[in-house]
C-alpha cells in the first residue's frame, strides 16, 4: 500500500527490522516498545504461533528510510491485554457476531503507558499516526477481523486521535507516582498527613524486623543465574493467583543478556539466598514495576519491595515517574495516585460499535467520578 510516497508494510517478526531503525522511533523514556524487548518476547516463544499473539508489525517507509511503525498483533483471545473487552466479546457472541480475530497495537502482557504509534522525531506525528491507523484498518479487513485496538497509548496520542472518525476513546486508570522534586524519602513522607506518614513508617519497620538483606541491582549487576530465581518467583505468584504464565523461562534469561541494561531488581536475601523479589524496567526518567514474588510470607515485605524501595530509588536517581502496574487501590495510601490511562478502539460492525460507544461514554463518566473520589483519600496534605 502506498500513500503519498509512503510504503506501508505489515510484517511478522521484529527480527526482519533492524534494531537501530526501529529504536530511532521510540523516544527516550519507554523500554517496552524498544526493539530488544519486543524481539525478546518473540524469540522466547512468549508470543507467536500457539500463544494467541501473532506478530504483524506495521512499518512505514519513505524510500528506504523507516519513518513510522507500530507493534501489531493478531489476537484470537483477549488475555494479557489489561484493557478489558471480555464484555464486548460476550455481547458480540450473543448477537451472533464474531469478535475474534482482532488486531491490537500493544506491548503484550504489559499494562504500562507508552507510545504505540511510533513516529520518527523528524516527521509529522499527526500525519503518520493516521497512516498507521489506516494500516490497522487494512489489516482488520485482510483477516476478516472484528476490530482494532490501541492499548495504553500516551495522552498525547489519545488527544490527537480521539476525534478520528471511527475510533472510540477509552479512559481507565492506574496508580502512578510522580516525583515532586523530593530530596529524599523523608522529604517525600513529609508531604503526607501525619496518620498516613506514621502508617508508612510502621510498615517499613515491620519489614526491617525480618532482618533480611535487601539489595537494589541493575540487570548488569545481577549475579549469574539470577533469572532462575526471578522466574521461580514469577511462577509462584502466577500459581497463587490462578493467572496465566505468559512469559517463558527463555524470556527471563534475556533479563541477564539483551534486556539487562533496562532491568532493575529489588530483592531480599536470607543467608545469601533470595526469598522475595520485584522486577522493574527503567529507561530515561521512567520506572515501571512489573512482577513480584516471594518464597515466604513476610509481613510488609511486599510493600517494601514493590513501592518503597522503587520510590527511594526514583528519588535518588531523579526519575520523574514510577508506574506500579495494573489495579490495586492499596497503592493510594502509599502515595501512588489514580492517573488516567488511555486506549482507542475501532469496531467494524455498526451495531456493536454503537453499543460500545454508548458504554464507553457511561464508563468514562464513572471513571472520572471514581478518580475524583479516590483523590479525596490521598495521603498527601492539601
- Looking at the fold, whether 21 and 166 belong to one and the same domain comes out as yes
Domain membership of residue 102 (yes or no) is yes
**CA nearest 42: which of 71, 16, 72, 13?**
13
Report yes or no: 316 and 301 within 8 Å, Cβ to Cβ.
no
Domain membership of residue 331 (yes or no) is no
Domain membership of residue 330 (yes or no) is no
Domain membership of residue 344 (yes or no) is yes
Domain membership of residue 251 (yes or no) is yes
Tens of pLDDT, residue by residue, the chain (382 residues):
456 689 999 987 899 999 999 999 999 999 999 999 999 999 999 999 999 999 999 999 999 999 999 999 999 999 999 999 999 999 999 999 999 999 999 999 999 999 999 999 999 999 999 999 999 999 999 999 999 999 999 999 999 999 888 999 999 999 999 999 999 999 999 999 999 999 999 999 999 999 999 999 999 999 999 999 999 999 998 888 777 899 999 999 999 999 999 999 999 999 999 999 999 999 999 999 999 999 989 999 999 999 999 999 999 999 999 999 888 899 999 999 999 999 999 999 999 999 999 999 999 999 999 999 999 999 999 7
- Looking at the fold, whether 188 and 167 belong to one and the same domain comes out as no
Domain membership of residue 324 (yes or no) is no
Q: How far lies 277's CA from each of 185, 306, 352, in Å?
A: 21, 8, 43
- Looking at the fold, whether 168 and 186 belong to one and the same domain comes out as no
Report pLDDT for 12.
78
For residue 240, give the CATH number of its domain: 3.40.630.30
For residue 110, the Cα-to-chain-centroid distance in whole angstroms is 4
Report yes or no: 114 and 37 within 8 Å, Cβ to Cβ.
no
- Looking at the fold, whether 361 and 305 belong to one and the same domain comes out as no
- Looking at the fold, whether 6 and 136 belong to one and the same domain comes out as yes
- CA–CA separation, 336 and 341 (whole Å): 14
Report pLDDT for 3.
62
- Looking at the fold, whether 212 and 264 belong to one and the same domain comes out as yes
Domain that residue 113 falls in: 2-174+340-375
Question: For the chain, how many structural domains are there in total?
Answer: 2
Domain membership of residue 325 (yes or no) is no
- Looking at the fold, whether 227 and 191 belong to one and the same domain comes out as yes
Domain membership of residue 332 (yes or no) is no
- Looking at the fold, whether 314 and 360 belong to one and the same domain comes out as no
- Looking at the fold, whether 202 and 220 belong to one and the same domain comes out as yes
- Looking at the fold, whether 243 and 368 belong to one and the same domain comes out as no
- Looking at the fold, whether 157 and 10 belong to one and the same domain comes out as yes
Report yes or no: 58 and 135 within 8 Å, Cβ to Cβ.
yes
- Looking at the fold, whether 169 and 186 belong to one and the same domain comes out as no
Enter the pTM of the model: 0.96
Amino acid at each position: 500500500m502506498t500513500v503519498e510516497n509512503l510504503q506501508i508494510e505489515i510484517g511478522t517478526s521484529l527480527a526482519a527490522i533492524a534494531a537501530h531503525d526501529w529504536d530511532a522511533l521510540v523516544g527516550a523514556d519507554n523500554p517496552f516498545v524498544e526493539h530488544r524487548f519486543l524481539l525478546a518476547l518473540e524469540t522466547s516463544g512468549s508470543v507467536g504461533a500457539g500463544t494467541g499473539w501473532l506478530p504483524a508489525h506495521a512499518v512505514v517507509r519513505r524510500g528506504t528510510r523507516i519513518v513510522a511503525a507500530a507493534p501489531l498483533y493478531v489476537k484470537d483471545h483477549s488475555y494479557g491485554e489489561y484493557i478489558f473487552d471480555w464484555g464486548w466479546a460476550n455481547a458480540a457472541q450473543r448477537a451472533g457476531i464474531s469478535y475474534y480475530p482482532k488486531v491490537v497495537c500493544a506491548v503484550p502482557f504489559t499494562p504500562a503507558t507508552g507510545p504505540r504509534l511510533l513516529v520518527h522525531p523528524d516527521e509529522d506525528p499527526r500525519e503518520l499516526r493516521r497512516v498507521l491507523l489506516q494500516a490497522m484498518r487494512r489489516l482488520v479487513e485482510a483477516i476478516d477481523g472484528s476490530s482494532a485496538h490501541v492499548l495504553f497509548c500516551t495522552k498525547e496520542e489519545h488527544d490527537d486521535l480521539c476525534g478520528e472518525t471511527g475510533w472510540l476513546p477509552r479512559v481507565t486508570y492506574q496508580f502512578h507516582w510522580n516525583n515532586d522534586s523530593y530530596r529524599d524519602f523523608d522529604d517525600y513522607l513529609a508531604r503526607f498527613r501525619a496518620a498516613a506518614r506514621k502508617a508508612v513508617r510502621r510498615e517499613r519497620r515491620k519489614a526491617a524486623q525480618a532482618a533480611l538483606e535487601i539489595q537494589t541491582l541493575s540487570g548488569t549487576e545481577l549475579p549469574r543465574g539470577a533469572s532462575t530465581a526471578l522466574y521461580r518467583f514469577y511462577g509462584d505468584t502466577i500459581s497463587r493467583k490462578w493467572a496465566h504464565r505468559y512469559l517463558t523461562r527463555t524470556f527471563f534469561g534475556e533479563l541477564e543478556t539483551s534486556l539487562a541494561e533496562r532491568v532493575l531488581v529489588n530483592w531480599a536475601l536470607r543467608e545469601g539466598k533470595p526469598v522475595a523479589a520485584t522486577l522493574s524496567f527503567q529507561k530515561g526518567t521512567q520506572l515501571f514495576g512489573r512482577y513480584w514474588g516471594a518464597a515466604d510470607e513476610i509481613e510488609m515485605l511486599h510493600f517494601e519491595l514493590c513501592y518503597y524501595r522503587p520510590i527511594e530509588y526514583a528519588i535518588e536517581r531523579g526519575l520523574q515517574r514510577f508506574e506500579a502496574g495494573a489495579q490495586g487501590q492499596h497503592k493510594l495510601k502509599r502515595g501512588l495516585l489514580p492517573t488516567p490511562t488511555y486506549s482507542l478502539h475501532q469496531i467494524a460492525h455498526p451495531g456493536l460499535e454503537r453499543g460500545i460507544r454508548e458504554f464507553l461514554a457511561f464508563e468514562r463518566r464513572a471513571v472520572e467520578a471514581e478518580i475524583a473520589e479516590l483523590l479525596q483519600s490521598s495521603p498527601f496534605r492539601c
